[in-house]
Amino acid sequence: MSNSSGQKIVVICDFSERMKEVIVHGVRMAGVLRKELCLTAIWKDKVQKSQLQEKLIQTSNSLKGNLPDMEISWLLLQKSLLDNMQKLVDDYEAVLVVLHQLDINWALKAFRESSIAFLFINGEIPRFLSYKNVLVPIDFRKASKETSLWASYFGRFNKSQVQLIYAHETESDQADKLVRNLNFFKKFLSSMNVRHQEVAGKTSSWGICNEAIAKADDLNGDVLIFSGSSAISLIDLVIGLPEKKIIKKAGNLPVLMINPRKDICVLCD
């Protein structure tokens, strides 16, 4: 690894045609959050390792020439992202992993063991690089509150507005839980001086993420934050997790996903 220190935005580099899109979003996130950009590749054998190292050095040097004020490093990992998730957090201070939407199949395996957020992107349309209008679906699950911290980061570091899109529940117990979650968000974001507004949804908690995606154009949303599954059954693994379907449905809308099954890492100011 090249010399580096401090918390990092990890960009997964496979040197495919779509890698540029991932780097563009990674650069944007590093700028917004004032963190180091870390170009990261995964190698399988020594020949590939040597080739990837050369490409990482060339790419990082090119970026440094265009972004002289940004801290940029590179990192090589062996085997898979899944095998290295804990190392990324403990040894390299990673706080966010940026990947392409098309990497969803293998990336979700790593996400399930991750205490840091994953950002899935698709394309580099300017609107979806501003990260100024954050969509946060709110349901009745306790896990729904896990997205509040990242919503506050966008508000604090990027002066973004947060749209709280809350579900519609008719069963009293679920409706009470939903109201508590919504009130939590409002109180927390207000305490952080983050601009936010409420948007009443028409669907239940199970469909509110899809409704948020459908409302993205009307609300001028440019990133969706939601919490992944808190419990995963064998059936989920067979037919596919809900988050996989949501990410695929998002199109060009970046999706930042939080793992409620792990204690989330906190960004340093």
DSSP type of residue 112 = T
DSSP per-residue letters across 36-82: EEEEEEEESSHHHHHHHHHHHHHHHHHHHHH-TTS-EEEEEEES-HH
* Superfamily name and number for 131-254: HUPs (3.40.50.620)
Q: Tell me, what's the pLDDT at 5?
A: 65
Domain 8-121 has CATH 3.30.360.10: no
Residues 225, 207: Cα–Cα separation, whole Å = 15
Could you tell me the residue ranges of all domains in the chain?
8-121, 131-254
Q: Which residue in 37, 40, 41, 27 sits closest to 7, CA to CA?
A: 37
Residues 152, 117: Cα–Cα separation, whole Å = 14
pTM exceeds 0.85, yes or no: yes
Domains 8-121 and 131-254 share a fold: yes
pLDDT tens-digit profile of 138-173? 999 999 999 999 999 999 999 999 999 999 999 999
pLDDT tens-digit profile of 227-254? 987 665 555 555 567 889 999 999 999 9
Cα dist. 120→21, 251, 252 in Å?
Answer: 11, 10, 10
